[in-house]
Structure 1
């Protein structure tokens, strides 16, 4: 039963409208240009009205960071559901979700920059952003777990030396430490994740445009190379149709 009141609905609508204005200003002004004052000017509300919802700049940034992580994670999750429903292999699913994140990153470059670019001076993301931020690695971890369960992984030639290199919460996100010979699979998954983000940074910020003939094809190739570090084969023979052509 819906127990919301008109006041609740109005607050929700205002919250959404202010976030939308803040996203528009993020594109125009960058994170440094966001403040209750600029959002008030952009929304036609008073500064007091904005501050009633977002008292400080950091509150605005936290809302946008959370939205960006949620939106990019949702794009990956949807791509994975579609690929899994079509019976795709783990490697094809990985290619589908990374392409989905690439498309989102180009389509929302200001938000991509906010979460993966240079830190905003004076801003430190609070714990509230962690659940949204974990959606991307959770999608990757789910695919890797599926590959492991289906016997689609090739055992590594090199094991991580010494004690575990990751914190317990990172291993918990994956679902625990796999048995040998895949006991370092979580560490390898972190390599895959960081390679994906680094590759997107290079492409979104045009670090490869003057050296790569076909950036979309290069992205696929780089994901396949990174996947080899966890023993996963990614199909590059046209069996997984390319999602976009940037």
Structure 2
């Protein structure tokens, strides 16, 4: 935590800039984000804001990092309160991502929606927070595999040397000892989970197609649990 009055004041101003940036993100969208507008709402001249945030892209990066961490914190908190059952924990991750996305649709859209024209997120700042939920899923996959809870495929899963190399890098990055067939299933679970959330948040089903979208999402979770290799049992 900042230890001097000047440091505390700077930290507070940065927090205010990010807060106002989030408000503009929700009302105007990422493409229309403007430091001048943020300065106006902050009650200072635009040149004062540039002492803290040098460009719109830098503000976007702050919002991206904070968004990934907010989602990661929500998932971590939910898992901390969940029994040590991999199938149940997989469902909890999905439900938590969906709940966060519905509560923060603009923020979710910045992270997982249409890319902002002209903005390229810096990997050195965004990759680590951006993989927090993926890392949680990977740990669930590994836990289920080590416990012998997953049914292996009846046919061998073969991948190209290039993809096998990618899988090996993932093993190293996430310290996960798992076979290729689990990675192939896990990729589908990961992308399908976020795809289902995006369909809901971005109203891609059509506004009146389903009366209870929460129940629809539970059906998705049923299939994802089965796909990873668990028996189909709701928890």
Same fold (TM over 0.5): yes
Which one of 66, 81, 97 corresponds to residue 93 of structure 2? 97
2-structure distance, mates of 1:121, 1:104:
25
Aligned residue-pair number:
230
Paired position in structure 2 for 1:75: 74
Structure 2 CA distance for partners of 1:159 and 1:202, relative to 1, 3 Å: farther
What's the TM-score, normalizing by structure 2?
Answer: 0.91
1-structure distance, mates of 2:13, 2:232:
45
Structure 2 CA distance for partners of 1:142 and 1:177, relative to 1, 3 Å: closer
**Aligned ranges for residues 24-173 of structure 1 at < 5 Å?**
24-84=23-83, 87=84, 89-127=85-123, 128-163=125-160, 165=163, 167=166, 168-173=168-173
- Contact in 2 for aligned 1:22/1:39 (Cα 8 Å): yes
Structure 2 CA distance for partners of 1:169 and 1:52, relative to 1, 3 Å: farther
1:212 Cα deviation from its structure 2 partner: 2.7
- Unpaired segments of 5 or more residues in structure 2? none
1:177 Cα deviation from its structure 2 partner: 4.4
Secondary structure at the aligned position of 2:196 is classed as helix
- Contact in 2 for aligned 1:105/1:112 (Cα 8 Å): yes
* CA displacement 1:73-106 (0-9 Å, x = unmatched): 111111111113xx4x211111112101110000
1:160 Cα deviation from its structure 2 partner: 3.0
* CA displacement 1:34-91 (0-9 Å, x = unmatched): 121111012112211111111100001000011111111111111111113xx4x211
1-structure distance, mates of 2:156, 2:170:
18
What's the TM-score, normalizing by structure 1?
Answer: 0.87
Which one of 210, 226, 230 corresponds to residue 228 of structure 1? 226
Which one of 182, 185, 191 corresponds to residue 185 of structure 1? 182
